[in-house]
Amino acid sequence: MTISSSIPTAARPATTDSIVLGMGCFWGAEKRMAAIPGVLDVESGYANGEIAGTYEAVLDHERLLQWGKTTRRNHAEVVKVTFDPARVDAEQVLIVFWESHNPTQGDRQGNDVGSNYRSAVYTNSDAQQAIALQTRDTYQTALTAAGRGRITTEIAPLETYFTAEEYHQDYLVKNPNGYCGLGGTGVRYPVAATAAKAG
């Protein structure tokens, strides 16, 4: 059972949407995204790599990459966020995503280093892809104004997804003192951009 999955199936809306997000270690990402009103479920997983979708395979492959022994692409640790679009839209989910980690660090987040910890947005439609690019550009404007670097987040269609092992699901609920390397930049997403769109 993943975070927020306590909502009974019968009570769930007929229409849902989902997006897959990489913010470094999926433990903290799961907790952050589950706190968004309108999010129905958050599941830890592995996405858009060219290897087996298991924790051991990802760690082993990252070592091979660092040793220069492979060029195959590793998975990113991700969370699959399922939400009720009548209550929260993809743009609002992505605003929380941008503010909740540092998207300028490349293959690193907190103490976690490696391509498996890359910042990523993996989309399920052309519309989601456009929203991801638009919110990235808007947030980049705010980061640049604050003297921060360029966003390195990979934005691409979701090609491959594997659910992570059960012990990774709800990890910080089961282990309240567990490690969470997430730390945002402290730069807020421009409210004016969303207000202008709403108007």
CB 193 within 8 A of CB 145: no
**Residue 40 three-state SS:** strand
Residues annotated catalytic, as ranges: 25
Supply angle C-alpha 103, 158, 126, rounded to 5: 90
In this structure, the number of other CB atoms found within 10 A of the CB of residue 122 comes to 24
Q: Give the position of tokens 């309108």.
A: 38
Beta-sheet pairing, 119-123 with 154-157: parallel
Q: Report how far residue 135's alpha carbon sits from residue 114's, in angstroms, rounded to the nearest whole number.
A: 25
